[in-house]
Amino acid sequence: MSRSTRSSELRGTAQQALVAERERIARELHKFTVYRLFGIGLTLQALSLKGDDPAVSVHLNECVQELDRAISELRGLVFKLDDRHVYEQRRPKTPDSNPVPRFAKV
């Protein structure tokens, strides 16, 4: 095997390892972090509906909006990490596509 062939194989293996690691990080961020933030947002939203103090409700709703923006930003970063997004852009959307829902406006 020539030196250039071996070098090319090593680059290909390193690239595959990099892609696999980026996909793993993307999955973990999405799976754990995004859903935890979403759960916190739902809790804050429920608290804002139960509160007697309108100022507290307004502040909690502002926090929910900030969490919603943070989740959108994080999902954008995850999307950039995951090289499969090139395939996803070409794939037609189906009714079963299940994006992370946004918080309801209260």
Residue numbers of the domain that contains 76: 25-106
Percent of the chain with pLDDT over 70: 75
Is 30 inside any structural domain? yes
Structural domain contains residue 13: no
For 7-35, what is the mean pLDDT?
A: 83
pLDDT of 84 > 60? The answer is no
Q: Provide the domain count of the chain.
A: 1
Long-range own/partner contacts, residues 31-35 (CB < 8 A, 24 or more apart): 33/74, 34/71, 34/74, 34/75, 34/78, 34/100, 35/100
Stronger pLDDT, 42 or 19, i.e. the higher one = 42
Instruction: Give domain status of residue 102, yes or no.
Output: yes
Report residue 37 as tokens: 């933030």
